[in-house]
Amino acid sequence: MPHDDLPNRDNPFDPDEDDAASVEPPRDGVRWDEQPAGGQEPAAPEPDLEDPFEDGDQPAPIPAEPERTDRPATGPNNGESGTGAREVFRLKREGKLAEAGVLARRLYAESPADPWVIRALFYVLYDLYKQTPEPEREQIRQELLALPEMEDDEIYASIRRKLGDEVQRAVWKARDLDQQGRPMEAKRALEEALRRFSGDPRLERALAWQVYGVLKWLGQQGRLGQAELVGQLRPLLKLTTVEDPQLFDALMRLLVTEAREGRFPGFASFAMHWEVERRLHPEHFRPSEYQGNTVPPLAERILGALRRAVGEKTNPTIRDWLAGFSLRVGEKVEGGQWTPYHVGKILVAIGRPEEARHWLRPVVRKKASEGWAWQALAETYPRGSAERLALLARASLCPFGNEEYAVGVLADFGMALRAEGHLAEARWMFEKVRSIRLKQGWPTHEIDEILDSGDLAVVQPAECAPLSRRLAEGADDLVWEDVPLAQGWIVSGPFQNKEGKERRAIQLHGPQGTSAVASRAAFGQLWDSPVGTPVRVRIETDGDHVRVIQVRPADGGLWEGWPTERAVLSDHNRDKRLAVFVRESGRVAVLGFDARPGIERERPGTLWAVRARSRPQGADQVVDLEPSDDRSNSDAWRTMEEYLRLAPNRGHGTVGEAHVPARLLQESGMA
């Protein structure tokens, strides 16, 4: 079928000024486009679409014979005409429209005022009208319009009004063409009608749906490419009255699929000119359910398609629009697992790497075992930078479930190694990429050219893993550098939690701060550090729960920055194997016998310099102590008198909330 609406170069969503066929789909975690995309969210279901021509436009089903509520009393042959009308309807029911038409015309000629004859002729002619192709049906339409009006018959009146409505006729004509398997002609007919009746909402709605139908039809024919998409979508940009959420859903799903497959590089420009953001509704920002499966939000899928469509050739106007659109829409999406990745990649592609890091760091934190996540964050740093090299090294160390997904990561790391002068390791990396591509049956000419180039051709490959581990040492810090470091101290040795996993305790923000436990992985090389080692800690909080992400070294000696407090050894709880201390502040702190062997033999009343940490439940815990030079009758101890409240006749007093034996009170001179 000839196409008279192929794209021209002034179209606003052509892919810039280069030939569309030469536009290479942007990379997505891989170096060459033969690699499968991988990791994509599930495709959205096809919507259950209504008939685009049905919106009150079609009359209700015509009854076989209208109910006769009265019998006309006029006409010389009233009885014969009434019987004749019933015969017309009988023939109509049996599908004998030609015979019914002949009889109805004869009866009408004999009794032009008989309402039942008029009805019979009208409904038979209308059936003939629907079955007659253009242009022969025009004669029948004129005959229908020549019949008298009958406002008491709503169906009759509705059909007659629409037969006289040229806009409605144009819509019906397009519907008939579409049903005959001629969707392109139907679209052109609607465009012609819109030139005559500019801005008519019925025509615009019908044309918008017909554009969608043509695109689906071209896809089924295997003829839907960049040129066809551009040509068929152009009319949508001129429509001003179409606000149909169902059409928007259907069209966006189709175009998102085409853009994700690399067949619509102009998708970003089209989305900008068609004001996609304005057409998004609240339900488009939330996941939906379809046949028991969760479908990602439509807004997230649009962001994914824009990520594929944007590239180096995207013009500045579209880049500016993409920045605002992706940031605004990304903030609104709920439950979109891929939204941060899509937004970050878009921002990288349009040259806004600092903003992209804000979106991509959380992706790496959640997908720390995925090489593509580290690679995406690496792209936010300049080529040749130590940060980019560290992140690519970390990406290369990730396990790949399918080797083909490693191609882009390893190739990028190989290029970075080559730029840094690590030629032997770079050659090893490129040879691995070549091996994977050969195994997958993909072309290798680009890799062959790299391996045969001057600097790599003369070196022998060397295993890259040792160098990768060394280069990747700072990668974790780059992922978490937007999370502030808190001051902390290691306050316990290794122990096992309820699940049997090894942990150590850390006190944050000083003696009255927050306690947390950290895993061996979070400690890293600091796992064997002694109790009291000052550290810097990155944490995540979720309500009252604190999770330690990273433990990093801090300057200073043991317990530096944590002041001591004078305390008296009040008593021993031998049942619980605890030593009880009362501090100058009046607060109680306890120390387990196992934590300080021999503390159970120390005499109550002795003074100590202690460091204690608060705990959510129970008494404070002594984490460090040493004997004090002050004696029990010193001024330091006497300053605690203001906290002392004697309990008469019970042989003890209290300091703060701590019970102090009477013997200790007497020895200290405080009784």
Does 579 score more than 70 pLDDT? Answer: yes
- C-alpha span between 284 and 335 (Å, rounded): 12
Task: Looking at the structure, tell me whether residues 466 and 496 fall in a common domain.
Answer: no
Structure confidence by residue, pLDDT tens digits, 360-400: 999 999 999 999 999 999 999 999 999 999 999 999 999 98
Task: Looking at the structure, tell me whether residues 154 and 62 fall in a common domain.
Answer: yes
In a domain, 524, yes or no: yes
In a domain, 277, yes or no: no
- 361 by DSSP, 3-state: which? helix
Predicted confidence band of residue 82 (pLDDT cuts 50, 70, 90): low
Task: Looking at the structure, tell me whether residues 535 and 581 fall in a common domain.
Answer: no
Given 553, 580, 603, the domain boundary residue is 553
Q: What is the tally of structural domains in the chain?
A: 4
Predicted confidence band of residue 664 (pLDDT cuts 50, 70, 90): low
Mean pLDDT score of the chain? 81
Identify whether the C-beta of residue 498 lies closer than 8 Å to the C-beta of residue 430: no
Does 554 score more than 80 pLDDT? Answer: yes
In DSSP terms, 505 is beta-bridged to: 517
Q: Is 323 exposed, middle or buried (0-12, 13-18, 19+ CB in 10 A)?
A: middle
In DSSP terms, 586 is beta-bridged to: none
Identify whether the C-beta of residue 274 lies closer than 8 Å to the C-beta of residue 235: no
State the average pLDDT over residues 620-641: 66
Cα-flanking dihedrals φ and ψ of residue 620, to 5°? -60, 160
Task: Looking at the structure, tell me whether residues 407 and 499 fall in a common domain.
Answer: no
Query: Which domain covers residue 124, as residue numbers?
Result: 45-164
pLDDT of residue 69: 42
Structure confidence by residue, pLDDT tens digits, 64-75: 444 444 444 333
Structure tokens at 579: 């030593």
CATH number of the CATH domain containing 664: 2.40.50
In a domain, 65, yes or no: yes
Q: Which amino acid is at 665?
A: L
Given 482, 509, 533, the domain boundary residue is 482
Does 273 score more than 90 pLDDT? Answer: yes
Give the residue, 617 or 661, on which the prediction is more confident.
617
Identify whether the C-beta of residue 430 lies closer than 8 Å to the C-beta of residue 451: yes
Percent of the chain with pLDDT over 70: 81
Predicted confidence band of residue 613 (pLDDT cuts 50, 70, 90): confident
Does 593 score more than 70 pLDDT? Answer: yes
- C-alpha span between 417 and 141 (Å, rounded): 78
Which segment of 247-256, 331-340, 488-497, 638-647 scores lowest on mean pLDDT?
A: 638-647
State the average pLDDT over residues 599-628: 84
State the average pLDDT over residues 84-110: 92
Give the residue, 384 or 567, on which the prediction is more confident.
384
Find, among 359, 423, 360, 370, the residue nearest to 396 by Cα: 370
- C-alpha span between 328 and 346 (Å, rounded): 13
Given 164, 183, 213, the domain boundary residue is 164
Task: Looking at the structure, tell me whether residues 460 and 543 fall in a common domain.
Answer: no
Identify whether the C-beta of residue 347 lies closer than 8 Å to the C-beta of residue 324: no
Laid out side by side, the sheet with 658-661 consists of: 644-647, 652-655, 658-661
State the average pLDDT over residues 550-577: 87
- C-alpha span between 189 and 207 (Å, rounded): 9
Task: Looking at the structure, tell me whether residues 459 and 514 fall in a common domain.
Answer: no
In a domain, 50, yes or no: yes
**Structural element, H or E, at residue 24:** none
Residue with tokens 């501090």: 583
Identify whether the C-beta of residue 285 lies closer than 8 Å to the C-beta of residue 299: yes
pTM metric for this prediction: 0.68
Task: Looking at the structure, tell me whether residues 585 and 662 fall in a common domain.
Answer: yes
In a domain, 236, yes or no: no
Task: Looking at the structure, tell me whether residues 474 and 487 fall in a common domain.
Answer: no
In a domain, 38, yes or no: no
- C-alpha span between 564 and 566 (Å, rounded): 7
pLDDT of residue 424: 94
Q: Is 634 exposed, middle or buried (0-12, 13-18, 19+ CB in 10 A)?
A: middle
- C-alpha span between 608 and 40 (Å, rounded): 63
